[in-house]
């Protein structure tokens, strides 16, 4: 089982990316979690570039990588009460062409970290809604990691054993849901 881990933060010292690195360690037996880095390479979504044969290389890679994964775990920061534009942009690209989209029937789950006290809860709720509209099968609940600076150290290590176990459980759910997922139907 290969699960892709997509961080919605481009920041070098991102708590969300650290969370996904911890999730790599927390993955249960038989689950391989791989960080996907390609968000910053994507152009802004433009429907005029939609033609499958002609899309930019970074978009082609996104669609290929996301489509090939058995499932995807997203980690989102919260920017002004919602998901960062860069993450929404990637999802827009991966939601088209509608009938053969990389996100169509893809089993996905979300986590999120913020330095505030609500742990990017609004961003995670929005992200689940957006992913569902984009055609993904969203599973599991939100995992709000509040006051991330107290729970992840300067080297990006998780200081919270309970959170590590939560990540493991989340991945176990995601993996088992992905096993029973319907095949993506090509257009
Ligand atoms: C433009 C911007 C808007 C933000 N808005 C929110 C917000 O609405 N809620 C919140 O909890 N934190 C907010 N924050 C703080 C982020 O949660 C914090 O910077 C977090 O560390 C970002 O995630 P990262 O460490 O993965 O980059 C905001 C930060 C930025 C840069």
What is the average pLDDT across 82-99? 96
Pocket of ligand 1 (CB under 6 A): 9, 11, 14-16, 77-81, 113-116, 118, 120, 148
Q: What atom in ligand 1 is closest to the CA of residue 82?
A: 8
Q: Which pLDDT score is estimated for 54?
A: 85
Q: Is the pLDDT of residue 114 over 70?
A: yes
Handedness of CA 54, 57, 58, 61 (dihedral sign): positive
Q: Are strands 71-76 and 2-7 parallel, antiparallel or unpaired?
A: parallel
Ligand 1 atom with the smallest distance to the CA of 116 is 11
Which atom number of ligand 1 is nearest to the Cα of residue 149?
21
Q: Each residue of 134-151: pLDDT tens digit?
A: 999 999 999 999 999 999
pLDDT averaged over every residue in the chain: 95
- Taking residues 74-97, what's their average pLDDT? 98
pLDDT on residue 52 = 75
Concatenated DSSP letters of 17-80: HHHHHHHHHHPPTT-EEEEE--GGGPPPP-GGG--GGG--HHHHHHHHHHHHSSEEEEEE--BT
- CA-closest residue to ligand 1 atom 31: 79
Q: What is the pLDDT of residue 186?
A: 46
Q: Whose CA is nearest to atom 9 of ligand 1?
A: 78
Ligand 1 atom 11 nearest Cα: 116
Q: What is the pLDDT of residue 73?
A: 98
18-74 per-position pLDDT tens digit = 999 999 999 999 999 999 999 999 999 999 998 778 899 999 999 999 999 999 999
Dist CA 77 CA 70 (whole Å): 24
Q: How many CA atoms lie within 13 A of 13 on its CB side?
A: 7
Among protein residues, the one whose CA lies closest to atom 20 of ligand 1 = 114
Asked whether the predicted pLDDT for residue 184 surpasses 60, the reply is no
Q: What pLDDT, on the 0 to 100 scale, is given for residue 187?
A: 44
Report CA(119)–ligand 1 centroid distance (Å).
10
């Amino acid at each position: 089982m290969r699960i892709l881990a997509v961080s919605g933060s481009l920041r070098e010292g991102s708590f969300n990316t650290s969370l996904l690195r911890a999730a790599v360690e927390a993955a249960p037996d038989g689950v391989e979690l791989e960080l996907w880095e390609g968000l910053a390479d994507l152009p802004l979504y433009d429907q005029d570039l939609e033609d499958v044969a002609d899309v930019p290389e970074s978009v082609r890679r996104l669609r290929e990588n996301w489509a090939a994964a058995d499932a995807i775990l997203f980690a989102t920061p919260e920017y002004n009460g919602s998901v960062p534009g860069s993450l929404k942009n990637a999802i827009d690209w991966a939601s088209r062409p509608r009938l053969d989209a990389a996100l169509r029937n893809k089993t996905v789950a979300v986590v999120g970290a913020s330095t505030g006290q609500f742990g990017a809860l609004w961003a995670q709720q929005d992200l689940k809604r957006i992913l569902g509209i984009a055609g993904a099968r969203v599973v599991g609940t939100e995992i709000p990691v509040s006051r991330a600076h107290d729970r992840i150290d300067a080297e990006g290590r998780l200081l919270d054993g309970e959170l590590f176990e939560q990540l493991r459980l989340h991945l176990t759910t995601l993996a088992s849901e992905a096993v029973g997922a319907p095949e993506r139907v090509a257009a």
